[in-house]
Chains A and B, each alone.
Chain A
Amino acid sequence: MAAFLIPLLAKISKELVRIVPGLVIGYLSVVSVILMTQVINTGQPIIEVIGGWSPPFGINLVFSAFTGFLVSLMTFMAFLIWIYSYRFKKIDDAPAQKYFILFMMLVTGSIGIVLTGDIFNLFVFMEITAIAAYSLTAFYRDRDGAEAGFKYLLIGSFASALMLLAIVLLYTQVGTLNMAEIAQRMHTVPQGMKITIFTLFMVGLGIEAEMFPLNGWAPDAYSQSPGPVGVAFAALVVKAGVYSLIRVIFTLFDIHGAYEFLIIMGAITMVIAEISALKQTNLKRMLAYSSIGQMGFVLIAFGINTNAAVFGAIFLMFNHAVIKGLLFMSGSYLVYNTPSKEIKDMAGIGKKLPLVSLFFALGALAIVGLPPFSGFWSKLYILMAAADSSFYYLMGTILIVSIIEIVYYFRVMGRLYFGKPQNDVILQKPTFGGIVAMSVLAVVIITIGIHPDFISGFIQSAADTLLDKAGYINNVLQSTNL
């Protein structure tokens, strides 16, 4: 909503355009954290009804412990990204006003995807996110950006077409679009139809969630978009995609084998992505493949489908947003100081840009899951959950993949610190805002690494809420607000 105001404000002051989105996002993040604690304390989700029609007739927003947690995470990250991109050099070259509005819409769309309780509304928000993402990918004036953008657009609009098809078929079967009511009536749908619809949803949403083999867009989009946008993809867009996938599987459908399917797809995604990451020479592409691998890991954890595993998965989603955010933020500066974007040319950059390299190293150590950083805990929880459910082969896969991860991250770090610098020229110094954002993330990573109880209460109630399907249906359908 506030986005409509921005062009008008631009008339008043050029500077305001940069500030307002940040203030709005900051306000949103404060509000969502407050609401989240309130929801967790009362144990009762907030159902916001739009148009004064109680669900399923109107569209409703569901702010439960799970969605609230995700929204808080997203707005927090968005706020940091805003700090980071304020005065970001490369963006200053291009029309900054448009960048901030597009970014604002991207945030709005992602939050909308998470909050909405209506399947068609989810589609609409997905399109908002997607169009903002296409434009941001192609934001730079270089040719590869446009190409990555077109590729993303092609795959993305294919995905939305499939999703639309799934919605039509679903509507013919249940005669409603409210997710709670769909879940309630799902048992009346014939089995064959259910599988068709499920497949359409999986393919459509899997594209947004970077699931194999539909993640061809991701590396290009990450590596060609402006630095902060890569962070936004990792922290917002993909999270929203995974959320919708999880919502469809956990709440909407009751198919046997869906969870096994999730585990298998997650494992394939993870293994292939991590092996590809090992082969990459371009830093941002490597980070992108690593990100896909992490998403595969999240899917596996959700697929195990025990309370502990879901807890681990949500924890991992949180960690991934924070750590990958840090990695992309610091990685962008490393890349901008290396014209070729290749890892081998980054030798000795650790001496030129000590702070940025330190942040990168911290993120790398955290994401491979070394104590005392926060990545360690989520990995531990998921491994324990896998052991409890006796998925021993999965544990093996995860451990092997972790070793691959360690290899390629340590390779980069070795280059950074022990290579010979080619020159002493610093092409682009990090901005003050960038350093602030990265420091905040680093502090978060270390704090939670040392003291995970800080956040595990929130995550525990989020996991409980997600698994409580009947509770979701009841809460939504009984919220008469007329």
Chain B
Amino acid sequence: MKKLFVIFLLAVVGYSLVNALMDVPFGENRIEPGTVSAFYLEKTPTQLSVANVITAIVVNYRGFDTLGEVSVLFLASLGLGSILYRKHKEGEEEVAILKPSSQLVQAGSKLIFPAILVLGAYVFIHGHLTPGGGFQGGAIIATGFLLMMMAYKDYKVSHNILMWVESLAGIAFAGIGIVGLVVSHSFLENFLAIGNLNDLFSGGIIPIIYVAVGFKVAAELTGVLDTLLNIKDKH
């Protein structure tokens, strides 16, 4: 009975979605003059001299979204900690869920780990030139830490360091925004020279903010993974 109802519901949703998408032809150029996209595509190379338009949108035009998004991650790691928090009772034998990996895996991870870190750093430093940026780079670095945590049972990321990195990066982001507010009248406004298109040092505050975002995302994701991996279970 419930199944029939659900299938009926799905049919209705599917039909209305198909109907709605009929009005949206695929692959059509919908960027007319006057839309925001046209503005972004036109102004980004000249006014910001940032090659990657998406970076420009994410960090500058819609920078407030990114601030909110970073807060969401921050909140998630915090909420995770608060949800999974539990008092340690005495007399309970606790075992970690991870078992030590083989030597091969350990040696391999040790080899790959720096490479992953460098890749992540590259991705977020070049966020304004090539695809990628703070989120991607941060996530890549977090996978690097994940690898280490899985390979070495005792590999611990210091929570203090994570917290400092996270807070400092957050303060850097907000601080740059406030400096923009003071120098150029509006929050997160660009106040540095914009440089030349496709140079590493171009785009004013955009690369700086993206690096801060990268550090913050990396710290937050590592924190989330660390919390989850360190769940102890009663044996």
Contact = CB atoms under 8 A, between A and B. Distances in A.
Contacts of A190: 23
Scoring A4, A5, A135, A178 by chain B CB atoms within 10 A of each residue's CB, the highest score goes to A4
B193 interface: no
Contacts of B163: 7-8
Contacts of B32: 175
B36 A5 contact: no
B71 A128 contact: yes
B59 to A, nearest CB: 9
Contacts of A192: 19-20, 23
Given A98-B81, A124-B68, A128-B68, A1 B20 contact: no
A52 interface: yes
B24 A52 contact: no
Interface residues of B, number: 51
B185 A3 contact: no
B85 A52 contact: no
A289 interface: no
A95 B85 contact: yes
A157 to B, nearest CB: 12
Contact of B64 (A3, A50, A57, A138): A50
B82 to A, nearest CB: 4
Interface string B79-105: 101110111000000000000000000
Interface residues of A, number: 56
A475 interface: no
Contact of A58 (B61, B68, B75, B85): B61
Contacts of B36: 56-57, 175-178
B68 A52 contact: no
B39 A57 contact: yes
A172 B24 contact: yes
12 contacts: A4-B170, A5-B171, A8-B167, A48-B187, A51-B190, A52-B189, A118-B62, A128-B75, A141-B85, A172-B24, A192-B19, A481-B185
A446 to B, nearest CB: 37
A120 interface: yes
Interface in B82-140: 82-83, 85-87
Interface of A: 1, 3-5, 7-8, 48-53, 56-59, 94-95, 98-99, 101-102, 105, 108, 112, 116, 118, 120-121, 124-125, 127-128, 131-132, 134-135, 138-139, 141, 146, 149, 169, 172-173, 175-178, 190, 192-193, 196-197, 199, 481
A26 B212 CA distance: 29
B79 A132 contact: yes
A175 B82 contact: no
Contacts of A132: 75, 79
Contact of B186 (A5, A7, A48): A48
A86 B120 CA distance: 42
A138 B80 CA distance: 10
Nearest to A133: B79
A51 B83 contact: no
Given A5-B167, A50-B186, A175-B36, 12 more contacts: A50-B63, A51-B61, A51-B63, A53-B60, A59-B64, A95-B85, A108-B71, A121-B64, A135-B78, A193-B20, A196-B19, A196-B20
Interface in B19-69: 19-20, 23-24, 30-32, 34-37, 39-40, 60-65, 67-69
